[in-house]
Chains A and B, each alone.
Chain A
Amino acid sequence: AQSVTQLGSHVSVSEGALVLLRCNYSSSVPPYLFWYVQYPNQGLQLLLKYTSAATLVKGINGFEAEFKKSETSFHLTKPSAHMSDAAEYFCAVSDPSGTSYGKLTFGQGTILTVHP
């Protein structure tokens, strides 16, 4: 069975500061990992994904994430926060094989607030 833990349900940063959103996963097989963003009253938009290629993954809007197998982590970072980054962020894991093929398991989400 797979699971995802996002540390911190709320993260607050100042505009221009580093953004770090934490995600740890549990999977019995090498996973696929995703970060999605949800703006208020909207659906989910894919930020980036890890699918067993490069461990440092670059996504849209200046975000990136690093897959660290030894730490079972996939933390999301952005060097400089912008006001438009305020949203809820979800980490998700997918089992690329077996009976769970294609299904996403989501973390609880982290609400990012950006202060002027």
Chain B
Amino acid sequence: SAVISQKPSRDICQRGTSLTIQCQVDSQVTMMFWYRQQPGQSLTLIATANQGSEATYESGFVIDKFPISRPNLTFSTLTVSNLSPEDSSIYLCSGRQGARKETQYFGPGTRLLVL
């Protein structure tokens, strides 16, 4: 299995600012993903983080709002830009290993509150 950590674990931000979330995996993973979990709701995939190239975004999510980096096989960042109260959510990253490709392991999440 893979152990995934995220920083920060939670934050309170003012509208109009940005928050960058870091995701670190303890072993190499072939695929990394970012999800959003809005209050009381399920998880929605934001994008697939691709190593060394632009992320692949799902419908309804755009790079200007959610820029993502993945410089290597164990690290990724998600930035939530120009924050509004509607961005208040839990953001989770996940990793999927090559040898056991069907399983995704999740980080503990970053709880964001926008005032």
A residues adjacent to B (C-beta < 8 A): 32, 34, 36, 41-46, 49, 51, 90, 94, 96, 102-109
Task: Give chain B's interface secondary structure class.
Answer: strand
A70 to chain B, nearest CB (A): 23
Residue ID in chain A nearest B109 by CB atoms: A43
Q: What class of interface size applies to chain B in its complex with A?
A: 20 to 34
Give 25 A-B contacts (CB < 8 Å), ordered by A residue.
A32-B102, A34-B104, A41-B111, A43-B4, A43-B108, A43-B109, A44-B94, A44-B106, A45-B106, A46-B103, A49-B102, A49-B103, A90-B42, A96-B102, A102-B31, A102-B33, A102-B48, A102-B96, A102-B104, A103-B33, A104-B33, A104-B43, A107-B42, A108-B41, A108-B42
B101 in complex: contacting residue of A41, A102, A104, A105, CB < 8 Å: A102
Contact call A46/B96, Cβ cutoff below 8 A: no
Query: Given known contacts A104-B45, A106-B43, A109-B42, is B102 in contact with A94 (CB within 8 Å)?
Result: yes
A43 touches B31 (CB 8 A): no
Chain B residues with CB under 8 Å of A103's CB are 33, 45, 48
Q: Does B92 contact A (CB under 8 A)?
A: yes
Cα–Cα distance between A49 and B100 once the two chains are bound (Å): 12
B residues 49-87 in Cβ contact with A at 8 Å: none
Q: CA–CA, A45 to B107, complex, Å?
A: 9
Docked Cα-Cα span, A49 to B1, in Å, equals 14
Q: Beyond A44-B43, A44-B92: 8 further Cβ-contacts under 8 Å?
A: A32-B102, A43-B92, A46-B103, A90-B43, A94-B104, A102-B31, A102-B101, A106-B43
Using A43-B92, A90-B42, A109-B42 as known contacts, say yes or no to A104 and B108 having CB atoms under 8 A apart: no
When C-beta atoms are compared, the residue in chain A nearest to B4 turns out to be: A43
Residue of A nearest to B93 (CB): A43
